[in-house]
Every structure is written in structure tokens, then in C-alpha cells.
Amino acid sequence: MRGKFITLEGIDGAGKSTQLTWIIELLQHVGLQAVVTREPGGTPLGEQLRTLLLDKSITMHPETEALLMFAARREHIDKVILPALKQCQWVISDRFTDASFAYQGGGRGLDSDKLAILEQWTQGALQPDLTLYFDVPVELGRQRVSQLKTTDRFEKEQVDFFQRVRAAYLDRIRQFPDRIKLIDSSRPLMEVKAAVEQTLRCLLNHE
Ligand code: TYD
């Protein structure tokens, strides 16, 4: 027996953060106190790597970027995710490996076979039980990000980058339709919330 592992994905501006708050509330409502974490990050080392990865004054080779993402993930799995799951706790991670396939694979153009090797090396058989992918047209995501006071190294990328990221996410859904559920996040917030609730209730009912 172990807890459930849920991950949230989407292009920047897809509205993950708002939904995360509701997901926590929903789980609390049914008596589940989930461990909420994020990538890159989630551990002291991972958070330092996050600072470097998001710093727009730093340039790095796309493979360096991928390796740092997976290095942070290795630590995250070892120190946070697996210990919590083993204690039957639920874990919600704001992003996980699908983001590497989408951003480093789709966005930066890295070979997905190389990423799959890193995935296998870093996480073995560990996969999320459920991934909620919040889908928005790139223009809408860009519009939301443009309202932020500051943007990071990824958010400052151009439209074509995010089109490749979104296409790679959609490709992941085609590969893993049972695990990754698409939530149309361009709808009014309450409709998105209802769709999230419905998907989570399905997972809870399978408990
Ligand atoms: P994000 O999760 O969007 O946080 P915030 O809401 O604070 O901006 O930021 C993390 C960024 O890192 C996001 O642009 C996607 C990127 N990222 C990757 O490129 N690859 C990865 O494997 C992960 C986990 C994130």
C-alpha cells in the first residue's frame, strides 16, 4: 500500500496554481492531508537548482538544463516523494517529468530518447497515478504571463517555443491516455474547477 501521486502540468499561464489551491481543499474535505511540492524544487538542493534554472541572466546548454532538472528530480524523489508515498500519504507535485519532455524535449528540441534514459535512471518504475494537464491556447497563456510583474527564464521565451511545448504535452497525452487527463483551462474558472473535481473523484472512488 502506498499513497497516490498526482502531478499538475501545463504551459506557463495555464492556471495550475489556482487549481492547486482547490485540489488541496478538495482532498482536505475528504480527510486527506496531501504533501504539496513542486519541480524544479521541493528540497533545499532542488530549490537552489530552481533558482539557477529560472534565472534569466544565466545561459546554459539545453542538455545542461535537462540534466539539472533531472538532478533536482532525483533528490526530490529520494527525499520527499517516495518517503511520503511509503507512509501512505498523497503527494501533489506542481510539475514532474512530463514537463521535461514538454519543455526540454518539445521547447528546446532535445531528443526524447535521451530524456527517456534520464527518466529511467532517475525514477525507475515510479510514475504519477494521475496527471492533470491544464490546456490553454498559447495566446491565452502568454496573455496571462504578460500580466505578471516579473518573468523567469522560461516565461520570457517566444510564442513558437510555447507552441512546441504545448504540442509535446499533447503528444504525451496520446502516449499515456490513462494517466494524463486533459482539463480545458480556457473555460471559466468554476467550470475548470468542476472538471478537476470530477477527475479527482474518479481517482478517489477507485481507492
Ligand atoms: P512554474 O512551475 O511555471 O512556476 P511558477 O508558477 O512559479 O512560474 O515554473 C517552472 C518552470 O520550469 C516552467 O516554466 C517550466 C520549467 N520546467 C522545465 O522546463 N522542465 C521541467 O522538467 C520542469 C519540472 C519545469
In whole angstroms, what is the distance from residue 34 CA to residue 4 CA?
9
Domain boundaries, the chain: 5-205
Q: In testing the pocket of ligand 1, which one of 12, 43, 75, 146 has its CB within 8 Å of the most ligand atoms? A: 12
Atom 8 of ligand 1: nearest residue by CA position:
12
- Match domain 5-205 to its CATH number in 1.20.140.160, 3.40.50.300, 1.20.1260.10, 3.10.450.100: 3.40.50.300
Residue 46, pLDDT score:
98
Instruction: Identify the pLDDT of residue 148.
Output: 87
Instruction: Give pLDDT tens digits along the chain (207 positions).
Output: 679 999 999 999 999 999 999 999 999 999 999 999 999 999 999 999 999 999 999 999 999 999 999 999 999 999 999 999 999 999 999 999 999 999 999 999 999 999 999 999 999 999 999 999 999 999 999 999 999 889 999 999 999 999 999 999 999 999 999 999 999 999 999 999 999 999 999 888 877
| 6: Cβ contacts below 8 Å, ≥ 6 apart | 23, 34, 90, 91, 92, 93, 128, 129, 130, 131, 132, 200, 203
Question: Which residue in 81, 131, 94 sits closest to 16, CA to CA?
Answer: 94
Sign for the pseudo-dihedral over CA of 170, 40, 21, 156 = negative
pTM metric for this prediction: 0.97
- CA-CA distance, 88 to 17, in Å (whole number)? 24
Residue pair 53/69 in contact by the 8 Å Cβ criterion: yes
Give the pLDDT score at 1.
Answer: 60
Residue 69 near ligand 1, beta carbon < 6 Å: yes
